[in-house]
Amino acid sequence: MRQIGFPTQMAFKLGKQEQSTRWLIEGLWLKEAVGIIGGEPKSYKTFVALHLAAAVASGVPCFGKFAVHDIGRALVFCGEDSLPSVRARLEAISILAATSFVRLNVHVITAPSFRLDLEKDREMLNKTIAFHKPKLLVLDPFVRLHRIDENKSGEVAPLLSHLRELQRVHNLAIALVHHAKKGGKKMRGGQSLRGSSEFHAWGDTNLYPRRVSSRSEEIELEVEHRNGAAIHNLFLRPVALGESMALGLTDMETTEEVPTADVKEQIVALLAGSGPMASTALRAECKVRKSTMIAKLDELVEERRIQKQGRAYALVPVPVPDVP
């Protein structure tokens, strides 16, 4: 029968995708996926992006855990960091991964700036990708790549569409670093992104690093995929190496004897029964990870239910009314 209109095929005849060809970095980034690495300032967004680039370029598992399935060149642009700083960070990541920094197949775009809303710069980026043929392109951050209004979807969408076109034409993955709103820590990852909702909708894979608390350097990395299982309870910590630092996995244990929603009440009950206690003692009693304990203590202090006394925590005294 002569085909009329667009070509079609019965669903069961469509090709299957093998697990090994589905991922760029297993669990962390889909192969040839576009996506956002989004978070508030000082949440190690750039470090996360450079870890992805180094893993793809070296073939060493990302953060020592997530296998690389498509090894090749990575191309990065870091618009908010000096070139020596980028070098130091990649060298530290190489040291932590026990791989050769000299042989690390990461190429850094050294132009001081370029803009996705200018045709001549888009063409230069296209030529650069065509020449280097990277498996992964990192653009950090989006705010340095344009002069549009990020809150207007009609201005954001064409730039994201252009990046999607580059991804399809050159068969590569693109990680776009983007800022979160002020106070975005209390929102879901996608909802916290600054500007238009186009950013969240665009991503095939999105990563959201967040500090566990203002008192901790530890970050939680939330991972979501358009077509894949999300990852929660993934915690990273900065590790000082040479002139910079890298990110290492913390304890991956996720089991806790009580739901985190009940931890605060357990802390209050312990302090009511025994008086001031150190965070380490509270953590041992509650049987939760360090990051959870820090976060819950911070919340209780903010709610003025407990107070810090030296290295210990105690209940805030309840005023006793005067008895006539």
**pLDDT recorded at residue 257:** 42
Decide if pLDDT at 23 tops 70. yes
**pLDDT recorded at residue 7:** 86
Question: pLDDT of 252-277, one tens digit each?
Answer: 444 344 455 588 888 998 998 888 99
pLDDT category at 216 given cuts 50, 70, 90 is confident
**pLDDT recorded at residue 68:** 97
> Apex CA 23: angle with CA 21 and CA 28, to 5°?
170
DSSP string, 79-119: TTS-HHHHHHHHHHHHHHHT--STT--EEE---S---TTSH
> Which of 53-62, 203-212, 235-244, 259-268 is least confident?
259-268
**pLDDT recorded at residue 286:** 84
Nearest to 300 by CA among 313, 286, 317: 313
Enter the tokens of residue 72: 């090749």
Decide if pLDDT at 285 tops 90. no
CB 37 within 8 A of CB 209: yes
Domain ranges of the chain: 20-249, 260-315
> pTM (2 decimals)?
0.76
Distance CA 156, CA 143 (A): 11
Domain 260-315 fold is Arc Repressor Mutant, subunit A (1.10.10)
Any idea which residue has 């990708």 for tokens? 129
CATH of domain 20-249: 3.40.50.300
pLDDT category at 320 given cuts 50, 70, 90 is low
Tell me, what amino acid is at 150?
Answer: E
DSSP string, 180-219: BPTTGGGS-TGGGBSS-THHHHH-SEEEEEEES-TT---E
Decide if pLDDT at 87 tops 90. yes
Query: Three-state SS for 30?
Result: strand
